[in-house]
Amino acid sequence: RDLDELVARQSVCRACPRLVAWREQVAREPRRAFAEEPYWGRPVPGWGDPAPRLLVVGLAPAANGGNRTGRIFTGDRSGDWLFASLHRLGLARTRTSVHAGDGQRLLGLRVVAPVRCAPPANKPVPTERDTCFPWLVREWELCSSTVRAAVALGSYAWDSTLRTLAALGYAVPRPRPKFGHGAEVVLAAREGRELPEILLVGSYHPSQQNTFTGKLTESMLDAVFARAASYAGL
């Protein structure tokens, strides 16, 4: 399948020297709590339903989360919040995602990241974002016949999603719609393109910075996913 081929090709990508060095250094010198565990230490592909109606866009794998487990949002605190919310809404089989063989299944949705290797301090530089961009565009393109809604977790994901949709042939308004928690925009194809309308909804990222401080609550996150899932027909 095309998606499988994409995942395989992406898994050997070494296009960003700084990120390759960081993902491999973290894997060689893991955090003490994970010292006995094997680390993935490579690009982390999107995962979930191969024919999703909803795409969830994050930022990049966490050094000791996705970079360890090989699955985005798996094995870190942000993922704990994300999967608990998806499970409450019937969009994930279980409420946690701890490792790639844990039996978790995403129901009608797929989780993707604009940058696929763990960046130092969770901050990719613009050249890394641009170098990784074609992977996201291609993954979205392979899912585009079924996707009807997207949730962007944070402003970085929001901007990356708008850029991806523009590259795929959607008419993105100028000035670009502003990110906010609960912000929404419906995007249609540019003239001459045949693409289904897509609802994009913004959410604060479920990082500890937001969840510990109460900036993002469970009910706020649930409301965003409920809205996007309903629009997508899930």
- Please give the residues from 135 up to 174 whose contact with ligand SF4 meets the rule CB under 6 A: 135
Candidates 71-79, 89-97, 127-135, 156-164 — which segment interacts with ligand SF4 by CB under 6 A?
127-135
Name which position in 49, 76, 80, 128 contacts ligand SF4 (CB under 6 A): 128
The reply to whether 10 sits near ligand SF4 by the rule CB under 6 A is: yes
The reply to whether 104 sits near ligand SF4 by the rule CB under 6 A is: no
Minimum Å distance from CB 178 to ligand SF4? Answer: 27
Residue 217 is given by DSSP the state: -
The reply to whether 113 sits near ligand SF4 by the rule CB under 6 A is: no
Nearer to ligand SF4, 123 or 176 (CB): 123
Helix (H, G, I), strand (E, B) or coil at 137: helix
DSSP string, 155-201: HHHHHHHHHHHHHHTB---SSPPPP-TT-EEEE-BPTT-----EEEE
Residue type, 110: R
Minimum Å distance from CB 214 to ligand SF4? Answer: 32
- Please give the residues from 22 up to 51 whose contact with ligand SF4 meets the rule CB under 6 A: 43
Q: Which of 47, 40, 96, 42 is CA-nearest to residue 68?
A: 40
Report yes or no: 70 and 64 within 8 Å, Cβ to Cβ.
no
